[in-house]
Amino acid sequence: MARWQPHASERLVVAALDLFAERGYENTTVVDIAERAGLTKSTFFRHFQDKREVLFGADTMAGLLGEAIAAAPAEATPLEAVAHAMDAVGGAAFTPARRGFTARRQAVIAANPELREREALKGLGLTAAMADALKRRGLPDLDARVTAELGAVALRIAYERWADPDNEEEFADLARRTLDEVRAVGALAQDPAPGARAS
């Protein structure tokens, strides 16, 4: 086989998912994954640091979110800039063709505490990337952090909805609607509790 394989990373991801489902994450080695993909161990390590990173990749999504927030129109509000980023993520990562892959990935992660922890850390990284991008747009630190947290909640909920096997909506549409819902909940939280309102 040629030393540099086209789409080698995709082949490794598919092979890893197949093996994780068949044998379990703990019982699958890097060598197993490389062999299943028809590649060498050294090729594996050109693309991923370890077998865990097959499921998480590099910081591609964090970079995509940050770049899209930076590229949002100058007049966009902070949450509109986040919505712009969700559009970009949907078009690049959450396509209909990837829905089956996502469901399989989530099943593997749900079955392993180490992977659940790594998924949570990835979420924190995405939030930080959005906050940093918002600060670069001139938003004060606290405003940027709160907006990024709201965006992260909406992103996580939209991802769960999109990955549902019964879902047929595009990710960007789900994400924008979810962001609107999160924003509405935030507005409700500013109102006094129903029992505290003047009659």
Indicate if 78 and 168 belong to the same structural domain: yes
Indicate if 49 and 118 belong to the same structural domain: no
Q: 41-46 — which CB contacts under 8 Å span 24+ positions? A: 43/3, 43/5, 43/8, 43/12, 44/12, 46/8
> Is 12 among the domain residues?
yes
Q: How far is CA 42 from CA 35, 45, 65, 93, in A?
A: 11, 5, 31, 26
> Is 176 among the domain residues?
yes
- C-beta separation of 82 from 149 below 8 A: no
Domain count, the chain: 2
- C-beta separation of 56 from 50 below 8 A: no
**Domain holding 138: CATH number?**
1.10.357.10
Q: What is the structure's pLDDT at 91?
A: 76
Q: Which helix (H) or strand (E) holds 20?
A: helix 8-23
**What is the DSSP secondary structure assignment for residue 84, as one 8-state letter?**
H
> Is 147 among the domain residues?
yes
Can you give the three-state secondary structure of 58-80, one letter per residue? CCHHHHHHHHHHHHCCCCCCHHH
> Is 194 among the domain residues?
no
- Residue 130: band (very low, low, confident or very high) from pLDDT cuts 50, 70, 90: very high
Taking only the tens place, the pLDDT of each residue in 137-180 is 999 999 999 999 999 999 999 988 888 878 888 888 889 899 99
Domain boundary among 20, 39, 54: 54
The alpha-helical segments, DSSP class H, found in 49-195 are 53-56, 60-71, 78-92, 99-110, 113-136, 141-163, 171-190
Indicate if 85 and 151 belong to the same structural domain: yes
Owning domain of residue 117: 59-188
Indicate if 36 and 75 belong to the same structural domain: no
Taking only the tens place, the pLDDT of each residue in 10-63 is 899 889 999 998 998 999 999 999 999 999 999 999 989 889 888 886 567 888
Indicate if 183 and 111 belong to the same structural domain: yes
CA-wise closest residue to 61 among 175, 145, 186, 141: 175
pTM value > 0.75: yes
Indicate if 97 and 148 belong to the same structural domain: yes
Name the token pair of 150: 């709201």
Indicate if 69 and 49 belong to the same structural domain: no
Indicate if 110 and 43 belong to the same structural domain: no
